Structure 1
Amino acid sequence: MRLRKGLRGCLFCLAAVTVLIMAVACSPSSEGNKTTTPPTVEQPVSEQGPPSGETGESGTGTDSGNLSDAEDEEETATGDEESETSAENMNGSAGQLYAITFEAMMELDEGLNHEMNYIAVDLSEMTQLTEDDKTYIIEYLQDFGTEIRDRTMDQLMEEENPEQSSPSLKGVLLRVDKVEINEDSAQIEGSKYRSGTGAVGAKITLKLEEGAWKLSGSEMTWIS
């Protein structure tokens, strides 16, 4: 009986020692077996492009800009073509004849052009002119870089200073007094007026070449 108790005690002790040995073997050792966790490296944040919606808007804006530029160029080209076509349609017309005549008058005694505020053309007696003729004349003379008016002397005086005893204008008045037109030529007499002491008479000669009026000659016939 005592022998059994002794064996049982030995077995119990042996089991306890075994468990203790296994526990020691499995427990982490000191610094040699210690697991080291690597430091966390902060990754750089990559730059992100704009959201797809913004990209689309930006792209659309650029495309719209390009499209707008293209449309503007097309409209400009169309406008130029229309202007050229309009000018070509006026070849040989009364509008072209008098536009060139008035231009030639303006180049006579250019001292009268000094500090002029406008160029006035008296078309009141020229009943043969159409509205297209008148419009062409006004547009043609705009190359002089000033306002173009369709006025008579009385209208200009009423606008500027109706109480003046001696008419003196802030601009230049061009008038046609006599016209001779043949099959392929024309001679026009008129005047360029600034004041009672600043005016010239003009004789303008034109030829019809290839269906269009062209200046042939110009001269002053009198000076005041």
Structure 2
Amino acid sequence: MRLRKGLRVCLFCLAAVTVLIMAVACSPSSEGDTTTAAPPTVKQPILEQDPPSGETGELETESGTESGNTEEETANGNDELETPAGNRNGSAGQLYALTFEDMMKMDEALNHEMNYIAVDLSEMTQLTEDDKTYIIEYLQGFGAEIRDRTLDQLVEEENPDQSSPSLKGVLLRVDKVEINEDSAQIEGSKYRSGTGAIGVKITLKLQKGAWKLSDSEMTWIS
């Protein structure tokens, strides 16, 4: 009896062990292999990095080139805007430029089919080269060639044998000047021929540092 009871116990234990082995064998390999499982992936923050030194140098070079071109273009633009005469407000150049302009507007019949406007600056020793340049450039607004000539020079160039010279243009000349602290009175003439000329008297005022035309009249006609 005891032998049979012990045999049964052994069989029962063997069956239990067999069941346990089969259960372990049938379980998924991923669940059993805990040592080789990869850890879950953790998303790391992205850190900003400086560009390579070579790229940085190229950017700086390009920026420097663009800046240099901009400065050069600005300078060229400034050169194009400047004139040799510059700002002549209150100068003798501005005074006589306005005087000659007013002469040209008097007796405009003398301007008919003129080829040029001549100004006699030979006796006006107070004028600088900048003043003369300003006068000539200012009178170009009349759309004619501007010459610095005396009457004798014009006659010699055009009709040296004429007894009563007649010009192909008009000659503007200053004969008398009176300048005060803030005003000026100028007498002169506008000449086209012996029978086509006028005398003028022009008054100008100095206002806020610039000459302004105040009054003008014809004093004689031929």
TM range (shorter): 0.5 to 0.7
Partner residue, 1:192? 190
Uncovered stretches (5+) of structure 2, i.e. residues with no partner: 1-68
Tell me if structure 1 keeps the 8 A contact 2:183–2:205.
yes
Contact 2:85–2:131 under 8 Å retained in 1: no
- 1:153 aligned residue: 151
Q: Work out whether 1:113 is the aligned partner of 2:111.
A: yes
Match of 2:102 in 1: 104
Q: What is the aligned length? A: 152
Q: Deviations over 1:106-163 (max 9, x none)?
A: 0000000000000000000001111111111100100000000000000000000100
3-state secondary structure, aligned to 1:214? strand
| Residue type of the alignment partner of 1:222 | W
Map of 2:121 onto structure 1: 123
- The answer for the alignment partner of 1:36 in structure 2 is none
1:79-90 → structure 2 map (5 Å cutoff): 79-80=80-81, 82-83=82-83, 86-88=85-87, 90=88
The structural deviation recorded for 1:79 is 2.4
Q: Which residue is equivalent to 2:135?
A: 137
Structure 1 counterpart of 2:110, which letter? L
Question: What residue in structure 1 maps to residue 37 of structure 2?
Answer: none
Cα RMSD after superposing both structures: 1.9
1:176 — aligned with what?
Answer: 174
For residues 93-116 of structure 1, what are the alpha-carbon distances to aligned partners after superposition, in whole Å with 9 as ceiling and x for unaligned? 111100000000000000000000
Seen in structure 2, the aligned counterparts of structure 1 residues 86 and 175 have a Cα distance that, compared at 3 Å, is closer
Q: Do the aligned partners of 2:98 and 2:213 also contact (CA within 8 Å) in 1? A: yes
Whether contact under 8 Å (2:85, 2:133) holds in the other structure is no
Structure 2 counterpart SS, 1:98: helix
Q: Report the secondary structure of 2:130's partner residue.
A: helix
Q: How is 1:2-81 mapped onto 2 (pairs within 5 angstroms)? A: 71=73, 75-76=76-77, 78-80=79-81
In structure 2, C-alpha distance between the alignment counterparts of 1:202 and 1:147, rounded to whole Å: 23
Structure 2 distance, partners of 1:76, 1:199, is 44
Offset of 1:87 from its aligned partner? 4.0
Q: What 5-or-longer segments of structure 1 have no aligned partner?
A: 1-66
Aligned partner (choices 213, 216, 219) of residue 215 of structure 1 = 213
Distance 2:219 2:78 in 1: 43
What TM-score, normalized to structure 1?
0.64
- Cα distance in 2 for partners of 1:209, 1:114 equals 34
- Give how far 1:74 is off: 7.2
Q: Percent identity?
A: 80
Following TM superposition, by how much is the alpha carbon of 1:217 offset from its aligned partner in structure 2, in angstroms?
1.3
CA distance in 1, matches of 2:86, 2:128: 15
1:106 aligned partner, one-letter code = M
Shift of 1:202: 0.6
Task: Give the Cα–Cα distance (whole angstroms) in 1 for the partners of residues 165 and 125 of structure 2.
Answer: 26
* Alpha-carbon distance between aligned partners in 2 of 1:110 and 1:87, rounded to the nearest angstrom: 29
One-letter amino acid matched to 1:194: R
